[in-house]
Amino acid sequence: MAQARLMVAGTNSGVGKTTIALGLLAAYQKRGLSVQGFKVGPDYIDPSYHSALTGRPSRNLDSWMLQPDTLREIFLDATVDADLSIVEGVMGLYDGHDALTNTGTTAEIAMLLGIPTVLVVDVESMARSAAAVVLGFMHLEPAVNVCGVIANRVGGPGHFDLVKTAIEDVCKVPVFGYLERADDIELPERHLGLVPAIERGELRPLFDSLVTRMESTIDLDTLFHIASQAPSVAPTETSLVQPVSAENPVHIAVARDAAFNFYYADNLRLLERYGAHITYFSPLAGDKVPDEAQGLYLGGGFPEEFAAELSRGDDVRQNIREHIQSGLPTIAECGGYMYLASNFIDHAGQNHPMAGVIDGTVTMQRRLVGFGYREVTGEPGNVLLPPGERARGHEFHYSTFDVADANAPSAYRILHPARPKGEGVLLPHGVASYTHLHFASNPRMPERFVEACRAFRDNVLTEAKA
């Protein structure tokens, strides 16, 4: 299958990959193309902007969490009706799982999927030195097809001419254009990265401003021509995203609002594959668990930014507590896990009562507490992952969770040779933890969860008839 595609990679974090990726998505969409966004690595926030712009769920591509065939299938599934794919890289082009290999890097995804790679370089206060930067990135892994450069934070046309001349002379690749530094296209940040698109309100002025700049200073025609020349991605023999059966569906309630919005698109898609009908609700807006729910998924997000509002929702907190304590199958990840605590202490030291499913206290910290990839196995009683099976995901949080019962059974065991440890808490019929698992790393997890929801539903129906 031929798939037009481009990788937007950077020399480092903060170089402007997201701004340029969004600009390209918006510019090509304006030309009438159906454009699909992707993000390399375990990220929820950047994809939220892709999705807000394109109206299509942005998908994550992570070569540490997922196998190559799985990545190819996810890519092909997402692009089946797309004219062009824009893949936004993570950190620098060669930054990933470790310092010695390409595992988990943007470079590995580019090689695996044959994606022409545009290198974004922050050239502020540079001229010919920019050529040395680009040359180093091209030579570290020659198998990566660095097809050209976009210069960011350029001082003006004269500065751009210096940079372009040096790079094209030394590196023999084109410089497709540039963006000048501009306050109106800066994306606001907080402790976990960008402020998610769901909190930004109307984004069209931002996207329109990006398109105007892209059209005036970047050669979009040549970029699209290069994207269209990318080699075909061979179809896989797996069928991870194809529905198993439309029979006997179950209803799973998924919390989605400004406090809870960190979900891999493929996690939700896999639940649907195994027979889930997903209904979204907003605890922040005062929504209770929908009556038809036979399962509950509380994702991550920013409950710390909305702790006071969440705490004021007494009836919502009680409703969620009662559902979980009654045995409703539940997955609570990171922010969802924090919401289930008895108490939540914010950055100012103020305590906010939460759902009280888990007797314990969450305390916000000033520094990052948990960060990085995680491989886990389930502890006894885990409805998703039994002992002996493995799954992969990541942690990224600024809080600690002190569970009152030191003997409370953990949900998972983190598999680290130097320091294996328990993580999270088992719920009456579910799991709660800081770890965000990617279900495609072990597709038996979503299948088991849907089976648990089905068993819960059947048990409720049996009791109702008794």
Catalytic residues: 334
Residue ranges of the alpha helices (H) in 201-279? 204-217, 220-228, 265-273
Residue 194 neighbours by CB under 8 Å, 6+ apart: 18, 45, 46, 49, 187, 188
Burial of 30: CB neighbours in 10 Å, binned 0-12, 13-18, 19+: middle
Fill in the DSSP letter of residue 390: E
Conformational region of residue 12, where left means phi above 0, alpha means psi within -120 to 50, and beta covers everything else: beta
Tokens of 343: 């108490």
3-state class percentages of the chain: helix first, strand second, coil last, to nearest 5:
35, 25, 40
Distance of CA 404 to the CA centre of its chain: 31
CA 393 to chain centre: 11
CA atoms within 13 A on the CB side of 128: 2
